[in-house]
Amino acid sequence: MKQSLTPLITFCLLFSLSSLKAQTKIVGECSLLFQITNADSGDSIGQKNVYIKGGQCKTVLETPQLKQVLLFDLNQVKATITKDIGASHFLQVINYPPTTAPNLIAMKESLQDSSMQILGYKCKSVDLILSDGVVYQIWYTSEIATTVSTFELIFKEVPGLVLSYKIIPLKGKSYQYVATKIDLSPIPLSQFIININQYQVIDE
């Protein structure tokens, strides 16, 4: 009797695991637009665009005072940062992730019945606490995931695509990022090319 049940149990286990994987759609190309606000006052701060193509990722943070671009590839150990501040334009190549990045020390899931809709996706909440005391309050969907999840380094631990997050430091202002647009259209390779002649290169 035990011998006849073993293949059935194995099949059921494999079926359940494959069903879980099938629930999450993995996309290799995606662009996201986040609106950034002061979490306390609700005042608009700026926006953040995220572009993902295969193992490449580009983030563009724009405020009235600054435009900052981070460009990295999962297959490379270096990343490029550009900063446009008024008439000044700087470029820096760094190790990515940086060796000084804080570590995750706690991950707390919210109640199972806690959910909300963002851009048509059902999202769950999780809090991530870092070694430097910064807290990320995150809403993510497990319906979709991208080939690059680390447009914020800490998102590596999140089992899905982050569509909203609040960054709460020990001191100072908290900032809320909420996705207002998601586009699964192909992204041209030119999006990941930087003309270094436009920038002043600074050392790491």
Report, as an integer, the average pLDDT of 162-175: 96
What domains lie within the chain, and their CATH numbers? 26-202 (2.50.20.30)
Distance of CA 110 to CAs 19, 25, 81, 139, Å? 23, 23, 34, 10
pLDDT at 143: 95
pLDDT, one tens digit per residue, over 1-31 is 444 444 433 333 333 334 444 588 999 999 9
Q: What is the dihedral of CA 168, 140, 96, 89, to 10 degrees?
A: -70
Secondary structure of residue 77 in the 3-state scheme = coil
pTM of the model: 0.85
CA distance 117 to 119: 7
Alpha-carbon distance of 157 to 100, in angstroms, equals 18
CA distance 193 to 93: 14
